Homo-oligomer: A and B are copies of this chain.
């Protein structure tokens, strides 16, 4: 493999689509950081100053509602980037609360430093566009899912999304956190997780979920996961 040293090509799909020289430039202008679960990246309304290209971390965009409830809008991992719209448009602000769902690494780059690249690089533009199309597809499907499918199906759909992005079978997540992302009760999640554990699809223990039977999870999920995957595949 060419140029596969450990400062490049660690797994973000957008960066991986770039020519070696551009990818190197982004890595040198930014830096690889570790992000910790629950860490806030942007509060609602914050100006977007940095982009984050997740490697094995997953970022959550969550709506915090007036009554204190919350619901996740989207999940971004190695297939996407945080801050897409700000890349092309000055002075964008965050529309939702952006936080880290599962810890890991990401490439953090100050927008001002790489804005010239967005204007110049066709490859980067089209990679960003593809990823935003993809994100829109995820959000669309979640809109459908939230409106039409059972909590158990939604749970499985969501867990599959997380699993893909965390790149590990051991995912650090409490029922409480999951509930807040799915806009459901903690007790409701406990019930469903319990059933899935009995079915030997997952196992969990005080804040850690282990995916035992990925195929089973896909079977218990609604068609939404497949729809999102199809869109991802079609993109390439």
A interface residues, Cβ below 8 angstroms from B: 61, 63, 65-66, 69, 71, 73-74, 85, 88-89, 93, 95-96, 126, 129-130, 132-133, 135-137, 139-144, 146-148, 182-183, 223, 227, 231, 234
Contact = CB atoms under 8 A, between A and B. Distances in A.
A136 B61 CA distance: 13
Contacts of A85: 129, 133
A148 B183 contact: yes
Contacts of A148: 65, 69, 71, 146, 183
A181 to B, nearest CB: 10
Nearest to A231: B95
B73 A129 contact: no
Given A69-B148, A96-B140, A143-B146, 17 more contacts: A66-B223, A71-B143, A73-B140, A74-B140, A85-B129, A89-B130, A95-B137, A95-B140, A135-B136, A136-B136, A136-B139, A139-B143, A140-B143, A142-B143, A143-B143, A144-B146, A144-B183
Contact of A146 (B130, B137, B147): B147
Nearest 9 A/B pairs, CB to CB: A146-B147, A143-B143, A146-B146, A147-B183, A73-B140, A63-B144, A142-B143, A148-B183, A71-B144
Chief secondary structure at chain A's binding surface: helix
A79 to B, nearest CB: 16
Contact of A147 (B71, B132, B133): B71
A95 B11 CA distance: 27
